[in-house]
Amino acid sequence: MVERCPDMAIIQVRFLLDLPIENMKRILFLLLLAPVIANAKCNNYIIAFRGLEDAFDKEAFLQYANIKSSCYKIFNWQQVDHAVDFINNLVTDYEFYGFSKGAWSVSKTLTKVKHKPKYIITIGAWHTTDVDFSKYNIKFNNFFDHSGRNQKSPGTHIYNVPHMRMQNHINKLMPLWPNW
């Protein structure tokens, strides 16, 4: 059984109060600096959007982020405004990764952010979703499965891979991508 010991908390607070003012300043400085240090390790972020009903192969995405040595943040497809807030507070480069309906989210987010990504990848976008990012002068790759048949945006069509296996399949093709 775990028991709470209030006396221990009093001892810890007394210890902090007994510290000289210079040591307390150092501790406060380090506590304030901790979030900056944590963010400093990320030279690049991948902002990912899931598809409808959370359709997303997280394992394949994590493999992708690892290959690119990037930190990441995953949003649901409808969280465009949350993603914009996150991106506008970034001090590093970032990329977009949109799966399925998440490709639509990439397009919407791109019109709202203060600074543009250095790269975009969409996988499994619906055939009516505009994922032609050439007008923004950003490197991008689009990979379409059966749901993207008749897509007017540029990209690679792969019809023999099921929708939910596309992310994993694309990881295997990474060294062959243009703009990679």
Average pLDDT, rounded, for the chain = 85
Q: Are 110 and 96 in contact (CB under 8 A)?
A: yes
Average pLDDT over residues 74-96: 97
pLDDT of residue 4: 34
Compute the distance between CA of residue 113 and CA of residue 31 in angstroms, rounded to an integer: 30
Phi then psi for residue 54, to 5 deg, are: 60, 25
Compute the distance between CA of residue 161 and CA of residue 165 in angstroms, rounded to an integer: 6
DSSP-based three-state secondary structure for 11? helix
Residue 177 in this model has a pLDDT that exceeds 90: no
- Tens digits of residue pLDDT in 5-39: 334 444 444 555 566 777 666 666 666 655 555 54
Compute the distance between CA of residue 164 and CA of residue 154 in angstroms, rounded to an integer: 21
- Tens digits of residue pLDDT in 38-62: 545 788 999 999 999 999 999 999 9
Q: What is the DSSP letter of 50?
A: -
Instruction: Give all domains of the chain, ordered by start, each with its CATH number.
Output: 6-38 (no CATH), 43-176 (3.40.50.1820)
The secondary structure of 150-165 as a DSSP string is T--S--EE-TTS-GGG
Q: Are 136 and 115 in contact (CB under 8 A)?
A: no
17: Cβ contacts below 8 Å, ≥ 6 apart: none
Residue corresponding to tokens 């939910």:
164
Q: What is the DSSP letter of 127?
A: T
DSSP-based three-state secondary structure for 48? strand
DSSP-based three-state secondary structure for 79? coil
